[in-house]
Chain A
Amino acid sequence: MAVPLAVRCEIEELLAEYAAVLDAMDLERWPEFFTEQCFYEIIPRENYDRGLPLAIMRCESKGMLKDRVVAIRETMMYEPRYMRHMLSAIRVTGESPEGITVEANYAVFETVINDLTRVFNVGRYLDRIVREAGQLKFAEKHCVYDSVLVPNSLIYPL
């Protein structure tokens, strides 16, 4: 792939920063990683592989990401918890005028406060990344998870 090393470094930094923001529960910054017309979803692999469109979280714009954040902060009821992302095997899989496509494996650990840490969700990111005003942004992010069952609830984005 003809993506320059410097851009690869930038992509790795983008993903690391993305994970850090989520791990820090800095949710208000989360939508800022995306373009205005972005598409974000968390979709079971079962649906993805079979071409079934249903996602457990589906946001079709930065506005919907912000609405999710407001709901998490203001309306949803849940037990407090920490989340921790591990990303690996970050690969550039394509480049076109629509952007750079990137895949990465993720494992997210959840620590519901007062309980044991557990492997919460494992899967891969399928991203399309574009440059906007000099900054790399996600135009698409599909979190396709292998984990068949969600342990109780998924509150925070992956």
Chain B
Amino acid sequence: MTTAIAPTTLDRHWPAEGVTRVPFWVYSDPQVYEQEMSRIFCGESWAYIGLEVEIPHAGDFKQVIIGDRPVVMVRDEAGAVHVFVNRCAHRGVKFCRVPSGNVQRFTCPYHQWTYDLQGRLRGVPFHRGLKHQGGMPADFSREAYGLEALQVTVRHGTVFASFSMQVEPFADYLGPTMLSYFDRVFDGRPLRLLGYMRQRIPSNWKLMFENLKDPYHASLMHVFLVTFGLFRADQPSAVYMDATGRHACLISRRGEQRATSDTKDIRNLREDFQLHDPRLLVPVREFPGDATVVMQTLWPNLIVQQQSNTLAMRQIVPRGPEAFELLWTFFGYEDDTEEMTLKRLRQANLMGPAGLVSADDSEVMKLSQDGVAPYAEAAGVIEMGGRGVEDTEHMVTEVAIRAFYRYYREVMGF
């Protein structure tokens, strides 16, 4: 962080144990939520916006929401990517009404103020009045009423934006370790868009991050993953974070479908389960190094998913304290063979709202919300793997959740 955080004006008190406790009021309190929207999503953070491949041509645009604020990503005639607020400078109308498309200009439907692809105000009907009547004041300057633009970073085909003009450069924001894992998937090769999945999960948005920072549950709840060795506590694995703790990576290697002395606590391991059609899971190694899974959580709204050959951006859009939307953008690389594309599409069966693995998560997040919301005075216990926040070379830990809340408390002033 480059600027000091103001103390919160909210009268909320974190448990004395610190990051080994998460008070349940963080999941349901509307005032806490409002402060999150301003301090986290509109604060000094780089929010994920989309992929360049979604807007390949001049005039291509896509609606996006950062926190609860609608914005538009658009490519201009020179090829540059801009992100503007989806709010007319005149009276505040959300002028862009379709999710994505191509335009030459944006025109607000209410009074037809018109903006170019760089967000400059180009047209104000009756600017000079009509028959010497009305019109804007003589000193009205169109230059002063462009669309409010966000700061934008484009890195290897991905687009991030920030409401803050003071936010540090994107590479510094990620830090060297997180950047190296980010560049592992986004290595500069052109991407191929495979499609979207969208779901609304009735739980607080932070539970999604907790889920992806929690390798402890993955070995226990996800019978499908465990059974096929896609992610298991007895495999070589690691949890790495950036210096602040806001970002993390869960890293693992695929193992075999067999029980070992280490799997006796994994009572759900099903050695007998064989697929009728094994084509569902025939991963091929495609990235350097041993890791076959890297799940990267990037503050404030992104999970980069690499599980075997299925690659996706999972974008978190909060919808009030007790719900969020999860928008999945699946992709491959432009130079993928047809066979590789098929692998990605088949393995996508693990993920999304119908995912053989991910549906467990959306279901359990609802149960979490059902449990925590009525008991705001209670707190969760985050002590697996100790009480610290340091990088860890195994999976039996909740360290990344502790690190996340250490940073969360700093930003929120709790």
B366 proximal to A (CB < 8 A): yes
Residues of A within 8 A of B349 (CB): 57-59, 68
Asked if A79 contacts B345 (CB within 8 A), the reply is no
Residues of B within 8 A of A59 (CB): 349
Please, how many angstroms separate the alpha-carbon atoms of A64 and B276 in the complex? 6
Main secondary structure of the interface of A (DSSP, over half): mixed
Whether A46 touches B196, Cβ cut-off 8 Å, given contacts A64-B277, A67-B275, A76-B360, is yes
Please, how many angstroms separate the alpha-carbon atoms of A64 and B325 in the complex? 29
What 1/0 mask marks residues of chain B from 264 to 307 whose CB sits below 8 Å from any chain A CB? 00001010010111011000000000000000000000000000
A150 proximal to B (CB < 8 A): yes
Asked if B200 contacts A149 (CB within 8 A), the reply is yes
Asked if B363 contacts A152 (CB within 8 A), the reply is yes
What 1/0 mask marks residues of chain A from 58 to 72 whose CB sits below 8 Å from any chain B CB? 111111101110110
Residues of B within 8 A of A79 (CB): 363, 366-367
Residues of B within 8 A of A50 (CB): 195
Determine which of A55, A56, A74 lies in contact with B273 in the assembled complex, contact meaning CB atoms within 8 Å. Answer: A74
Whether A77 touches B364, Cβ cut-off 8 Å, given contacts A54-B345, A58-B346, A155-B359, is yes
Asked if B194 contacts A52 (CB within 8 A), the reply is yes
Residue of A nearest to B356 (CB): A71
For chain A residues 116-150, which have a beta carbon within 8 Å of chain B? 148-150
Interface residues on chain A, number (Cβ under 8 Å): 38
Interface residues on chain B, number (Cβ under 8 Å): 41
What 1/0 mask marks residues of chain A from 34 to 59 whose CB sits below 8 Å from any chain B CB? 00000000111011001011111111
Whether A148 touches B198, Cβ cut-off 8 Å, given contacts A66-B276, A67-B276, is yes
B193 proximal to A (CB < 8 A): yes
Asked if B197 contacts A56 (CB within 8 A), the reply is yes
Whether A56 touches B352, Cβ cut-off 8 Å, given contacts A76-B360, A148-B198, is yes
B318 proximal to A (CB < 8 A): no
Please, how many angstroms separate the alpha-carbon atoms of A59 and B364 in the complex? 25
For chain B residues 332-355, which have a beta carbon within 8 Å of chain A? 341, 345-346, 348-349, 352-354
Q: A77-B363, A153-B362 are in contact. List 17 more A-B contacts (CB 8 A).
A: A44-B198, A46-B195, A53-B195, A55-B348, A60-B346, A61-B279, A66-B276, A77-B221, A77-B360, A78-B363, A79-B367, A150-B197, A150-B354, A151-B199, A151-B200, A152-B366, A154-B353
Please list the residues of chain A having a beta carbon within 8 angstroms of any beta carbon in chain B: 42-44, 46-47, 50, 52-64, 66-68, 70-71, 74-79, 148-155
Nearest first, the 9 A-B pairs at minimum CB distance are A54-B195, A63-B277, A63-B276, A52-B195, A150-B353, A75-B223, A47-B195, A154-B354, A153-B359
Please list the residues of chain B having a beta carbon within 8 angstroms of any beta carbon in chain A: 99, 193-202, 221, 223-224, 227, 268, 270, 273, 275-277, 279-280, 325, 330, 341, 345-346, 348-349, 352-354, 356, 359-360, 362-364, 366-367
- Can you list 17 pairs linking A and B with CB atoms under 8 Å apart? A44-B197, A44-B198, A47-B196, A54-B194, A58-B346, A63-B275, A63-B277, A64-B280, A75-B223, A76-B223, A76-B356, A77-B223, A78-B359, A149-B325, A151-B199, A152-B199, A153-B359
